[in-house]
Chains A and B, each alone.
Chain A
Amino acid sequence: MKFVVAAVLTALLGFTIVLFMPWWSVAVTSLIVAIAVSQKPLLAFLAGFTGIFLLWGTHAFIIDSLNKHILAPKVADILHMGSSSMPIILVTGFMGGLVAGCAAITGSFSANLTRK
C-alpha cells in the first residue's frame, strides 16, 4: 500500500512541479515523497521509478497517439533509437524513472538517517 501511495504521490507532485520548474525538479519531489513515505531503499527506488516512468511514459504515449505518430519516429531516428514511437516512449519513461528512483533511494536513506 505504501508503495502505491508513494508512486502515485511521486507522479502527482512530479507532474505539478514541472509546470513551474525545470524538468529535473521531479528529483526534488521524488526525494520528498520518499522521505515522507518511509520505505526500504529498494522499494523507495522502485516506487519513485514507477511513478515517473508511468507518468512520463503514459504522457508521451497519449501525445504520440493524438499526434498520429508523426513526430516521435522522426525524433527517434535523429537520436538513433529506431524509427517507431515505442522505443522513444519507453526511453522517455525510463529516463524520468531513473532520475526519480535515484532521488527516492537517496530520500529513503536520509529518512532512515534522521530517524536513528
Chain B
Amino acid sequence: MRVIPSILGAAVTIGLIILLNMQLPVAGSKTPRLGSFLCPQTGFWQNAESANTLYVVQLKSDKLKGKVEVYLDDRLVPHVYADNESDAYFAQGYLHAKFRLWQMEFQTYYASGRLSEILGPKSGENDIVKVDQHFRRLGMVYAAERSLTEMENDKTTKEALDAYTAGVNNYIDQLDASEIPIEYKLLDYKPEHWTNLKTALFVKYMAYDLAGREEDFERTNARSVFTGTEYEKLYPYGQDLMQPIIPKNAVMYEPDERLPVPAIADSLYFTFKPGPVVDSTAMALADSTLPAVDSTKIAATPAAKPTKPAAKPAKAGAVKPAVPKPDKDNGSNNWALAGNRTQSGRPILCNDPHLGLNLPAIWYEMQISTPAYNAYGVSFPGAPYIVIGFNDSCAFGFTNAERDVKDYYEIQFKDSTMREYWYNNTWRSTSFRDEVIKIKGGGQRVEHIAMTIWGPVMYDASYPDPLNSGKAYACKWMAHEPSNELKTFSLLDRAKGYIDYLDALSYFKCPGQNMIFAAKSGDIAIRQQGMFPAKWRRQGDFVMPGTDSSFGWQGDVAIEENLTMYNPGRGYVSSANQYPYDTTYPYYQGGTFELFRGLTIDRYLAGMENATVVDMQKMQTDNYNTFAEIARPVLLKYLDESMLNADERKYVDLFKNWNLRSDAQEKAPTVLQLWWDSLTVCIFRDELSQSGKPLPMPEKATLIEALARDPNYQFIDDIYTPEKETIQQIVLKAYRMAIPAMRKQEQDDRLEWGAYKDGGVRHLLKQAAFSRLHIKSGGGENIINANKGFHGPSWRMIVELTDEINAYGVYPGGQNGNPGSKYYDMFIDSWAAGRYYKIEIASRLDMAKHKGLTGKLTFEKKS
C-alpha cells in the first residue's frame, strides 16, 4: 500500500532538486542555481569572508626560481619582495587572481567579444550578441594576437608574461568550486585558465577605452548637411582659448612643411553641402516633419541631446549602436612641479586618471621590490608591472592623448562574396577571419570578417554602419598595429632618470598618452607619446575612399616629433587632455580635446610657490569651474532679467551669487547645467535635426567661444522660423525652458549639485547591491576634480621626490574584489571626502615588523 506514496515522495524530492538546480527566469533575468547558491557549504555564503580573516598562503611551485615574500598591510596592499623579477610577476599574477579574478576575466571576455558565452544573448535591455559582434568586428582579438607576437618576441616581456600567467593559474588550480568569486556563482560559470593572450586582450581593452573613440560616421553625415564654412564653425580645429601642453608660440615647423592634401580629395573627400541655396520645398517639408519642441521633455531629461530628433522620414534610419562610444572624458590630469616651486626644493608629481568608476576597481595598489628595482603604485588586474607610480629614483604618470587614431575606409567589393576589392586600379584579394561567438543556452554566431589592406571590414551587409548606408567599411586603427606597451611600464618601474624615461616611452604606441616624469635629481618632463598617423588637415574626420592608397595615413609621425618638454623655465609641466600642440603643428591632431581643466591647472601652477603635498591634495580635489567663469558673464550679459518674474529670477540669482565652485552643496552648478543644456538645444537642435541620422554635437568650448566672440553667431537663428532670432531671445528662451526642470529638482530636493549629479561607483555587472550609489560629491566635467558621477578620478596620486619619498594615494574601491569582504569598498568614503592615504614604501624587514598586517604569502621554488 506504500508503493504509491514512495514513488510520489521520490518524484517530489527529485523534482524539487531539479528545480533548485536550474537557473530560473525571473523578471527578465535568471536566478542563480538556488540549491547550490544558497547551500552554506558551496554557495555564496562561502564568499562571506570573516571580518578577521588573515590571508596566509604558503606555496611551492616549479615555475618559481627563488623565494617571494608578500606582506599585506592594514589596507590589504601587498608589498612583494622577490629574489628575482620573474618570481615577482608570478606573485603579482597570484595576487591579482586571489583578489580580482572575476574582474580580470570578465574584462577580457568583454574585450574579446565573449560576453554572450556567460551572459546569454540578452541581459536586461542589452543585446549582448551585438556587443560581442562589435568587438569581434573591430578586430580586438586580431589586434591582441598581433601584439602578443610582438610582446613574446621580446625575451624579458615574454618571461614576465609567462610568470604572471603561471601565478594566475596557480591560484585558479588550487581553487575549490566553493571558493570561486560570487559573480561566477550568480552567473553560473567557472573560471578558465589565464593565458598571455588574455593579458594582450586587456591591453587592447585599454586601447579601446582610451583611443577607440571617433565620430567619423557622424562627421561624414555632417559633411552632407553643412557647407564647408558651417562645418568649420561647428567643429573647428583648435580653440581660441587653448593652452596646449607644449605652450603656444613654441612654433616648431614652417607651415609649408605640412602634409599636402591629395589632389583628388576635393572631389572625393571634401564633399560638403554646396553653398546656401535654400530649397523652399525641402524647407517646408522639413518644417512639417520637425517635431514640436517639447519643453517639458527636454527639461525633464537634463542631458537631452538634440542629436536625435524624433521622427524623420528617412528611408533607412540610423543604426542604434550596441556599444556606447568610450566616454569622451576618459582623460586625466597630471602635473609636476620643479623644486624651485616647492617647499622641499624637490619635484612633486601628481596624477589622477579619469575613467569609469567601477567595482571592483580598475586599479590594484601594490609595491614590487626586486634586486633590480623597488616600485610602488597601481597595477592593472590582468597585466604585470606597476603602471602609475614611482620607484626609488623617480615618479611617472599618464593622461590620455585624445588623438584620433581610428579611421574608416569605404571598400568596393567585386561581389557579395567579399573575396576581392578594388584598390589602386586592381582587384585585390581579401583574407577572412571567422570569429565564432558562442551563446549561453545554445547556439553560436559566426562573424565572417573580410580583412583588407586597411584592416578588418567592420561594417558590411551583415553588420550595418551607424548611418545604415549599406556600404562596406574597413577600420584602420593604430591599436591593430603590433606593439609592446607593457615594456614601457617595465622600463619605467626601473627607470633611474630622464634618459631611462625617454627610452621607456619609445616603446609605447597605442593608446597615446601624455607621459609625465619627475625625479629626485630635480628633473621634470612631459611628452605626448604614442604612434600617431601623419595626417593632413581633416584627414580621418570623415570616412575615406578605400580604393586609393593616396588616402592612407602618410606613415607615422616620427618619434622625435612627439615633442618633449624638459625642465622648462616656468618650473612646471602639466596636461589635462588638451591639444598637445597648437594648430601650427605640422600634422593634423584630430580628436576631441578638453579645454577648461587645463586652463585651471595652468593658472594654479603658474602661481604656485613653496608648494607642499597638502597644496597638491587641495588642487587635485579642487572644484573650481573655469567653464562657468567664462560662461557666466556671457549668459548674464544676454539675459534680459526684466522679462522674468520674481519666481523665475530665483535661479538666476543663485547663479549670479555663486562662488564658481562646483561643490556638492552648491545649487548654482545645477542651474548652469540645466540652462546650458537647454541653450545647446535651442541653438543647435534646428541645425542638427536636418538629418535623421547621427550628427556630432558641437563642443561646449566651441559654443561658448562663439557666443563670447560674436552675438550674431550664425546658428543662433532657428532655421525653421521665418524671423531671425537674436541672442537675447535665445538665452531667455533657453532659461525659461530650463525652469520647469530646475523647479522639479528643487521640489525633489535635488537642486544641490551633489544630489543632482547623484553619483556612485558601480559594480561591473551594474548590480546595485554590489555598487555604492548616491554618493554626493562635487566636481564634474571641465573641473580638476573631474567626478561626473559615475566617471572621474580613478586613482589620485601625489609623489614628493624627497630623499625618503613622501607619497599619497587613494582610489574609489578597495583591494579585495569580493563584495563579501570588508575591503571591497574600503577606500570609497576617503576618496569621496577628498582624503588620501599615506603610502608606505617599506623595506622587507620594516614591513615584517609592521603592526596591523593582514596577511603574509610565501612563494618558494619547488625543490
Contact = CB atoms under 8 A, between A and B. Distances in A.
Given A27-B17, A66-B52, A110-B6, A60 B770 contact: no
B829 to A, nearest CB: 15
B470 interface: no
Interface stretch (B507-515, B745-753, B814-822): B814-822
A59 interface: yes
A27 to B, nearest CB: 6
B344 interface: no
B41 A59 contact: yes
Chain B CB within 10 Å — which of A67, A68, A77 has the most? A67
A102 interface: yes
B2 A78 contact: no
A77 B12 CA distance: 29
Contacts of B38: 56, 88, 91-92, 95-96
Contacts of A66: 48, 50-52
A76 to B, nearest CB: 8
Interface string B33-57: 0111011111111111111100000
Contact of A74 (B3, B6, B10, B819): B819
B425 interface: no
A41 B5 contact: yes
Chain A CB within 10 Å — which of B40, B44, B47 has the most? B40
A99 B36 contact: no
Nearest to A57: B40
A56 B39 contact: yes
A23 B6 contact: no
Given A18-B42, A27-B17, A64 B3 contact: no
A74 B2 contact: no
B728 interface: no
A99 B5 contact: no
Interface of B: 1-3, 5-6, 9-10, 12-13, 16-17, 20-21, 31, 34-36, 38-52, 182, 186, 767-770, 819-822, 824
Q: Which 4 A-B pairs have the closest CB atoms?
A: A106-B9, A71-B820, A23-B39, A67-B48
B769 A74 contact: yes
Interface of A: 15, 18-19, 22-24, 27, 31, 41, 56, 59-60, 63-64, 66-68, 70-75, 77-79, 88, 91-92, 95-96, 98-99, 102-103, 105-106, 109-110, 112-113, 116
Nearest to B11: A106
A116 B769 contact: no
A78 B45 contact: no
B6 A109 contact: yes
A80 to B, nearest CB: 8
Nearest to A22: B36
A103 B17 CA distance: 10
A82 to B, nearest CB: 11
A78 B767 contact: yes
A67 B13 contact: no
A25 to B, nearest CB: 10
B2 A116 contact: yes
Contacts of B821: 70
Contact of B34 (A59, A73, A95, A116): A95
B854 to A, nearest CB: 15
Contacts of A96: 38-39
Nearest to B12: A102
Contacts of A113: 2-3, 6
Nearest to B49: A67
B369 to A, nearest CB: 32
A68 B767 contact: no
A59 B1 CA distance: 39
B426 to A, nearest CB: 59
Contacts of B40: 56, 59-60, 63, 92
16 contacts: A19-B41, A23-B35, A24-B21, A56-B39, A59-B45, A60-B40, A63-B46, A67-B49, A71-B819, A72-B48, A73-B769, A75-B44, A99-B13, A99-B20, A109-B5, A110-B6
B42 A22 contact: yes
A19 B6 CA distance: 28
Given A74-B819, A106-B13, A109-B9, A23 B769 contact: no
Given A24-B17, A77-B769, A99-B17, A67 B819 contact: no
Chain B CB within 10 Å — which of A15, A77, A88, A99 has the most? A99
A27 B211 CA distance: 55
B39 to A, nearest CB: 4
Contacts of A79: 31
Contact of A102 (B9, B52, B186): B9
Nearest to A55: B40
Contacts of A59: 40-41, 45
A18 B820 contact: no
A24 to B, nearest CB: 5
Contacts of B769: 73-75, 77-78
A96 to B, nearest CB: 7
Nearest to B46: A63
B16 A99 contact: yes
A71 B48 contact: yes
Contacts of A31: 13
A64 B51 CA distance: 10
Nearest to B35: A23
A112 B2 CA distance: 7
B21 A70 contact: no
A110 B2 contact: yes
A102 B16 contact: yes
Contacts of A60: 40, 45
A18 B17 CA distance: 15
A106 B7 CA distance: 8
Chain B CB within 10 Å — which of A31, A66, A77, A102 has the most? A102
Given A70-B51, A95-B20, A23 B42 contact: yes
